Structure 1
Amino acid sequence: MSSNGVRPPTALVRKGRGSSSWVAGRFEKQTAVAEDDGWDALQVLEDEAISPQTVVTEERARSIVSRNSSPDIGFSQSVNPYRGCEHGCVYCFARPSHAYLDLSPGLDFETRLFAKTNAAERLRAEFARPGYQCSPIALGINTDSYQPIERRYGLTRALIEVMAEARHPFSLVTKGAGVVRDLDLLAPLAADGLVSVYFSVTTLDNRLSARMEPRAAAPHGRLRAMRTLADAGVPVGVIVAPVVPMITDQELEAILEAARQAGAASATYVLLRLPHELKTVWREWLDLHYPERAAHVMSLMQQMHGGRDYDSRFGHRKRGEGPFADLLAARFARARRALGFGNLPPLRTDRFRPLRPDSPQGELF
């Protein structure tokens, strides 16, 4: 986006970015779009926007723990230290959340980021709250806790340190290899049954990964990190996500086999989800990268969602239904069984130690 807020109208392949344009958010009342005036002004605007830079805004969160009661999600509490994600995964189901900030779920989601600099402070206050009920926290569910700006801010490590102090159970989901940085914290926590780590793997093809998830760790980097954690005793699982018909679905068994060899003990998969503006982001990407099969991909998606691009019903949104969805489920079940995948051990809640609230008198009493 240009400095005056005008959005170039053309969807382009942008190196290092997943989205190809500034798709308008569903809450925007008006959108400024550039049009050619015959004096090359539009070309200048496009040239300036070819490689938009990442901008991080620091913010102070009022609370840090989000709660849900969704029946098809295996956790009730989550913590996200960042809003937006520089990994730029074009298929990310969290993209529409940027619309609440009056920002584009397209390029803004991966270039206009927010860091909750007081995340650890707010988590500490939560653990010191009277009546707090301990249940496992999922860290980095909406946006990846190990996205590139974590190297600068270290918010994820600070959160893990608080959870280690409180002996609070948590799980991680990441596409980043940076998780190995925190092995010194994760290994002892794993020995006490307090942590598990899941790696999301979409494809084993480096070229495809660079187009779909341009700033996430390369597939072999994730597998290497998986092996490092598993060898250190950290329970590791793989999530094949998202499975995209005619783009990545043929890799399902290969991904599971590679993850098993890298030490993954459990496995699951999630079908491509296209809520809200993500439908537009995804269709633009398909038209740019796979124009010859875009119609086929979307036809299969619609067949699994009752004629629509997406159906958000609980129990349906992650798997779909119909012949193609049934085939995916059967293939996954067969591979999972053949490779000997099981379940990760349940996280322990009985070790939790409530933290003392901050006091101006410190530790005198």
Structure 2
Amino acid sequence: MSTNKQKFLNRYHVIFLVQSVMIGTGILTLPQKLSALGYSQTLFPILFGIIASLTLLPMIWINSKFPNDNLFRINEILLGKWLGKCVNLFIVLQFLVFTAGIVSNYMHLIQSTALPEQTITAPAFFFLLLLIYIVRGGIRSVARFCILTFFITLPMFYFLRWAIEKGDVSHFLPIFNFNGKEFYDAMKKGYLSILGYELIMFYFPNIIDQKKAYKHALIGIWISIVLCFITTAVSVMYFSEWQLKYVEFSVLNLFKAGEFSFIERIDIIGMTLWVFLILSTATVYLWSAKKGMDSLLSKERKNYIYILALIIFLIVKMPFPQEFQEKLFSASNYVGYVMVVWPIFLAIVHLLRKKQVQA
């Protein structure tokens, strides 16, 4: 494949790929994950944005050294073929489990709010069919879907107006009412909600203007951070500290504060529209996993998508206790932190082996 044909993602594609993959189900539970801070959680998304902006730098830097290669190929170049493939296999497995966790969480949301007496088999199956349909079109198709998702789901924030009207601004004070342990707990759980921007390392070779990739990705990050900040701020105003800690999917409960004479449950509308956000997140992870399969088997085939989707479905439906599933998905989430710091390790390896790599 020629280099020119490989590059087709413009700035808008990059912005909304980064933005959409960061939202997903994370923002639904963000106030609960930050509940260790109580009412002091309001400004935490801003801190997350600063950390994301800083950790994005080594990602773009290592990709800029290998502008025509994604992270899977870079791993093989810097770590050697076999060690690189082992790392790549681990990344693919992590993406599959992480995607299964996203799907499972959304299916649980549907089951607990809209279909309490139904199984999730059929919804999960049709969800994965949509996933396959979008990913088969490639990363450009995924990027276009992410742009569409943003404009379809953005009006949901209008439904927060009633929660703001009924909220109490005095909850914002005091700002720093927490200790070190509570800070660490909130950081560990809360930062998971904004992961996803690191996937730029897999579609970086497809970006047309790679020199401005950091700037465009940064815009995407801060769009997500602003949305997370609004969500946590409204949650702090509207909920009690007990509700912040124990109410599951508390963001949907913010919609319940709304009142329309012709709509009985506004939260159902929110949950329905949220499928676009879940799809936009899952599609990027599935596409990245597919690129990993291409790298592992040294062949590019669209059929890999079906195999990966089947594995995701089996993980979601695996006959294990709910507690085991939760531990598996939680472990996969925390492995996501490795992806954030991994480029720093690769940058060190690159600097140590610079002459050898260039030779």
TM-score range, shorter chain: under 0.3
Higher helix share: 2
TM-score by length of 1: 0.23
TM-score by length of 2: 0.24
Bigger relative contact order (CA 8 A; separation at least 6): 2
